[in-house]
Structure formats: structure tokens, C-alpha cells
């Protein structure tokens, strides 16, 4: 009775879990239809993202129909790859590549979070690590394979460990860092950018007759008119202003990345110093233990 075999002849659904709200709002329709919500009640949707990499010789057949693999990476706009190096004692240095970007349809598609896999198998789908208050982080989705963390016995979550907490904190930072660098491409007023660039984005969106939250716009060199298209001196002035704005944006992004790198280096240096201090203390304790053992042995010999 918990499973619905009748609503969709090609799928198995959870009875009563599919609650579609009747609405004409484009935003709600896109969010309802996206796989992040469908996988919670559709076995076909869940199976389509169950494995990160599917071999050519591997098939999942559900009710006589092949399940087409769905690679969430292909749904992302303005993709970036971020390297994460978890610190694990006693193990060689690991490097985990996280692919992050805005999901297609953002910000109208109200979806965010990370698909975290373990040895190619999905454990936590669309894990929401960051709060999207005031829109911050909305639409940011990432994919990574965290094989260094142990999953629970039912493979529906990871065991709550120090490594898991560190990963959650890093993914939260990653979300906000990415948002700060790219949210203006979706029409958000990014206050961390120079005022001139923010004004230019608002002017472009207003000229297009759309609200900032509904029309994604990326400022590229191709957006700037060439001299052959600009006949007046005023047009040429706008051309040079636009070039200056792009330079300001690039400089700002470079400074932002440098600040983050310096912060991480400082944290790494602090941890290294603390590690050396703890190692010295351990050596001192070991030496004290040896001295105590020698004293005990000497006293036992004297008693005999």
C-alpha cells in the first residue's frame, strides 16, 4: 500500500508523496519538476542519479524500461572545479574535486545543495549545507565523491564524525564563495562588487525590461560594441567605460581569491604549528614514561 504502481506505468512512486501544487507561477513549476524534488517520490528519478559514473555495460531496467542516467553536472551553469584536501592523520594527502555551479533555471528553480557520493554511489542528494536567507546561495549546486568518509549501514547518510563536520563547513564556505563571485550573473545586486559594475548590470537589466531576479545576464567582451558599431564619441566613451568595468570585476575577483588563499595558508600554518607542539608534548610524555619504568624496575631489583 506504500507504493503506487498505477499513476505511472514506467515508474514506482511513493503513495501520497507526490504533492503537486496547482499554480501558474513559473518558479514553483520549475522547482516541482526538477529532479531534486522528483527523486523523493520517484524510483526512476532516484535511480537515474544513483551512480556518478555509469559503465557502458551497466543498465538499470525499471518496469521493462531502461533508466537513463542523469548527470547533474550537465545541469549547471558557470561551472567551476574546486579542490578540497581533507586532513586525515596517518593517510597520504587526498584531493577531492568538487564541481559547483548554478542549476539551470536559477534563481527561479529554488534548489541548492551538494550531491555527495561514496565510491561512485549516491549517499546524500542535494545536501543543503548553507542557509539561503536573502537569496544567498540560492540555486548553487555541487557534486563530489567523498570516499574518505564512512557511510551509515543503509547508505542513506554519512556517519557523524569530525571529517563529516569539516566537510560540511568547507562546502558551506564553498557555496558562499561561489555565490559572492557569480551571483551578479543571475541578476542579484552583489554589494561586494564595485559600484560601477553594479550600476552597469542594473542598467542593462532595466533596459531589457525585466526584473533583476528573472533575467540572468553575463557580461562578456562580446557584449561590448566594437568601434565599427559605435559612431558617436558618446558611444565610444560607453565602450571604454564598459572595458573599465570588466577590468574592475576581474581585479575584484582576483583580490577575493587572494584573500581566501591567504586565509587558508594562515589556517594551515596555525594547524602545522599546533601539530608540532602536540608532537613535542607526546615525545616528552614518552620520555617521562620511560624514566618511570626504569625507576620501577630499579626499585624492584633493590627490594629483591
pLDDT in tens, 152-183: 999 999 999 999 999 999 999 999 999 988 88
Which residues have CB under 8 Å from 77's CB, separation 6+? Answer: 101, 102, 103, 104, 106, 185, 216
State whether 105 and 13 are in the same domain.
Answer: no
Q: What is the DSSP letter of 17?
A: T
pLDDT of 40-77, one tens digit each?
999 999 999 999 998 889 999 999 999 999 999 999 99
Residue 90's pLDDT band, with cuts at 50, 70 and 90, is: low
% of the chain at pLDDT higher than 70? 70
| 132 or 205, which is more confident | 132
113 and 102 together in one domain: yes
Indicate if 181 and 197 belong to the same structural domain: no
**Preceding peptide of 240 cis, ω within 30°:** no
Q: How far is CA 292 from CA 28, 216, 285, 298, 301, in A?
A: 71, 71, 10, 10, 14
Residues 162 and 89 in one domain: yes
Q: At what angle do helices 162-182 and 233-303 cross, to 10 degrees?
A: 170
**In this model, does residue 191 exceed pLDDT 80?**
no
| Statement to judge: residues 84 and 33 lie in one domain | no
The x, y and z cell numbers of residue 239, run together, are: 565602450
Q: pLDDT confidence of 134, banded at 50, 70, 90?
A: low
Predicted TM-score (pTM) of the model is: 0.63
* CATH number, domain with residue 115: 3.30.230
| 104: in domain | yes
> What total number of domains does the chain contain?
3
* Residue 240 belongs to some domain of the structure: yes
Residue 4 lies in a domain: yes
Q: Are 183 and 78 in contact (CB under 8 A)?
A: no
- Give helix then strand counts, H and E, for the chain: 6, 9
Q: Which of 188, 219, 238 is the last residue of a domain?
A: 188
What cell was used for 261?
A: 588563499
Same domain, 184 and 201: no
Q: Are 108 and 30 in contact (CB under 8 A)?
A: yes
Of 123, 112, 168, give the one whose Cα is nearest residue 145.
Answer: 123
Where is the domain boundary, 188, 204, 228? 188
Domain of 236 in residue numbering reads as: 189-254
94 and 8 assigned to the same domain: no
- 51, 62, 72, 125 from 59: Cα distances, Å: 11, 10, 18, 21
Tell me the mean pLDDT in the region 8-12. 93
Domain boundary among 150, 170, 188: 188
- Are 94 and 127 members of one domain? yes
Mean residue pLDDT across the chain: 77
Does residue 94 sit in the same domain as residue 43?
Answer: no
In the predicted structure, residue 247 carries a pLDDT above the cut 80: no
Q: Is 98 found in the same domain as 172?
A: yes
Q: Are 144 and 84 in contact (CB under 8 A)?
A: yes
CB 106 within 8 A of CB 34: no
| Beta bridge partner(s), residue 14 | 3
Amino acid at each position: 500500500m506504500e507504493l503506487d504502481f498505477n499513476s505511472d506505468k514506467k515508474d514506482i512512486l511513493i503513495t501520497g508523496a507526490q504533492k503537486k501544487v496547482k499554480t501558474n507561477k513559473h518558479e514553483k513549476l520549475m522547482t516541482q519538476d526538477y529532479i531534486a524534488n522528483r527523486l523523493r517520490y520517484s524510483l526512476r528519478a532516484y535511480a537515474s542519479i544513483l551512480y556518478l559514473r555509469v559503465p557502458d555495460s551497466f543498465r538499470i531496467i525499471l518496469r521493462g524500461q531502461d533508466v537513463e542516467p542523469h548527470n547533474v553536472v550537465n545541469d549547471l551553469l558557470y561551472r567551476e572545479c574546486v579542490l578540497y584536501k581533507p586532513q586525515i592523520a596517518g593517510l597520504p594527502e587526498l584531493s577531492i574535486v568538487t564541481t559547483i555551479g548554478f542549476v539551470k533555471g536559477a534563481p527561479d528553480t529554488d534548489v541548492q545543495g551538494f550531491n555527495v557520493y561514496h565510491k561512485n554511489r549516491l549517499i546524500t542528494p542535494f545536501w543543503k549545507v548553507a542557509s539561503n536567507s536573502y537569496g544567498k546561495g540560492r540555486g548553487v549546486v555541487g557534486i563530489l565523491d567523498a570516499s574518505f568518509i564512512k557511510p551509515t549501514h543503509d547508505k542513506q547518510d554519512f556517519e557523524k564524525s569530525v571529517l563529516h563536520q569539516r566537510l560540511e563547513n568547507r562546502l558551506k564556505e564553498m557555496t558562499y564563495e561561489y555565490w559572492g563571485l557569480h551571483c551578479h550573473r543571475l541578476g542579484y545586486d552583489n554589494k561586494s562588487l564595485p559600484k560601477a559594475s553594479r550600476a552597469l548590470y542594473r542598467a542593462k537589466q532595466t533596459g531589457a525590461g525585466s526584473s533583476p531576479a528573472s533575467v540572468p545576464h553575463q557580461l562578456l567582451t562580446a557584449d561590448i560594441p566594437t568601434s565599427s558599431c559605435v559612431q558617436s564619441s558618446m558611444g565610444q566613451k560607453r565602450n571604454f567605460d564598459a572595458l573599465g568595468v570588466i577590468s574592475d570585476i576581474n581585479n575584484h575577483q582576483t583580490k577575493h581569491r587572494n584573500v581566501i588563499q591567504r586565509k587558508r595558508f594562515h589556517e594551515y600554518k596555525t594547524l602545522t604549528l599546533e601539530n608540532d607542539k602536540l608532537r613535542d608534548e607526546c615525545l616528552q610524555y614518552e620520555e617521562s614514561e620511560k624514566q618511570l619504568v626504569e625507576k620501577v624496575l630499579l626499585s624492584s631489583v633493590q627490594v629483591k
